Structure 1
Amino acid sequence: MAGARAAPRVLVTRAEEDGRRTAAALEDMGFAPLVAPLIATRATGAAPPPGPFDAVLITSAKAAPFLSEAPVDIVAVPVFAVGARTAEAARAAGAQEVRIAEGDAVALARLVAASLPKGARLLHVAGEDRKPEPAESLARAGYDVVAWAAYRAAPTPLSEAARAAIASGAAGGALHYSRRSAELFVAALEEAGLADRLPQLVHASISPDAADPLRKAGATRVFVAPRPEESALLRTFADAASVAFGAEWPQAR
Structure 2
Amino acid sequence: MTRATECGTALRVWVARPLPAGARTAGRVGALGHRPLLAPVLDLALSGAPAPEGPFDALILTSASAVPALAGSRLAALPAYCVGTRTAEAARAAGLGPVHEAGGDALALAELIGRDLPRGARLVHAAGRERKDEPGDTLAARGYRLTAWIAYAARPLPALPAPVAEALDDDGLDAALHYSRRSAATALGLARAAGREEPFRRLAHHCLSADVAAPLVAAGIVSHVVAARPDEETLLAGLRPIRQDSDAEASPALRPGRERC
TM-score for both structures, normalised by structure 2: 0.86
CA contact (8 A) 2:227 2:235 kept: yes
CA distance in 2, matches of 1:58, 1:243: 33
Deviates more, 1:56-65 or 1:155-164: 155-164
CA distance in 2, matches of 1:165, 1:38: 15
CA contact (8 A) 2:43 2:155 kept: yes
Q: Give the alignment of 1:94-105 within 5 angstroms.
A: 94-105=95-106
Q: Where does residue 185 of structure 1 map in the other structure?
A: 187
The ranges of structure 1 where at least 4 consecutive aligned residues each deviate by more than 6 angstroms after the TM superposition are none
Mark the runs of 5 or more structure 2 residues left unpaired by the alignment: 1-7, 244-254
CA change 1:195–1:239 in 2 (3 A) is closer
Determine whether 1:154 maps to 2:155: yes
Q: Deviations over 1:120-167 (max 9, x none)?
A: 111111111011111111111111010101111111233211110111
Determine whether 1:231 maps to 2:229: no
CA distance in 2, matches of 1:9, 1:85: 24
**Percent of aligned pairs with the same amino acid:** 42
Q: Where does residue 170 of structure 1 map in the other structure?
A: 172
CA contact (8 A) 2:62 2:106 kept: yes
Q: Where does residue 45 of structure 1 map in the other structure?
A: 48
Q: How far off is 1:170 after superposition?
A: 0.8
Determine whether 1:111 maps to 2:112: yes
CA distance in 2, matches of 1:244, 1:108: 33
Aligned length: 243
TM-score for both structures, normalised by structure 1: 0.89
Q: Where does residue 145 of structure 1 map in the other structure?
A: 146
Q: 1:217 aligned to 216, 219, 236, which one?
A: 219
SS of structure 2 residue aligned to 1:146 = strand
Q: Where does residue 124 of structure 1 map in the other structure?
A: 125
CA distance in 2, matches of 1:58, 1:218: 32
Q: How far off is 1:224 after superposition?
A: 0.5
CA distance in 1, matches of 2:258, 2:164: 19
Q: Where does residue 90 of structure 2 map in the other structure?
A: 89
The residue type equivalent to 2:162 in the other structure is E
SS of structure 2 residue aligned to 1:99 = strand
Determine whether 1:207 maps to 2:209: yes
CA distance in 2, matches of 1:209, 1:27: 26
CA contact (8 A) 2:12 2:35 kept: yes
RMSD: 2.1
Q: 2:32 aligned to 29, 32, 35, which one?
A: 29
Q: Where does residue 136 of structure 2 map in the other structure?
A: 135
CA distance in 1, matches of 2:42, 2:124: 25
CA change 1:137–1:243 in 2 (3 A) is closer
Q: Deviations over 1:77-101 (max 9, x none)?
A: 2111111110111111111310111
CA distance in 1, matches of 2:136, 2:120: 13
CA distance in 1, matches of 2:84, 2:232: 11
CA change 1:176–1:231 in 2 (3 A) is same
Q: How far off is 1:219 after superposition?
A: 2.0
SS of structure 2 residue aligned to 1:171 = coil
Mark the runs of 5 or more structure 1 residues left unpaired by the alignment: none
Q: Deviations over 1:145-195 (max 9, x none)?
A: 101011111112332111101111011110111111111111111111111
Q: How far off is 1:232 after superposition?
A: 1.3
Deviates more, 1:213-222 or 1:172-181: 213-222
CA distance in 1, matches of 2:219, 2:102: 33
Q: How far off is 1:238 after superposition?
A: 3.3
Bigger proportion of residues as helix? 1
Q: 1:196 aligned to 198, 206, 215, which one?
A: 198
Q: Where does residue 58 of structure 2 map in the other structure?
A: 55
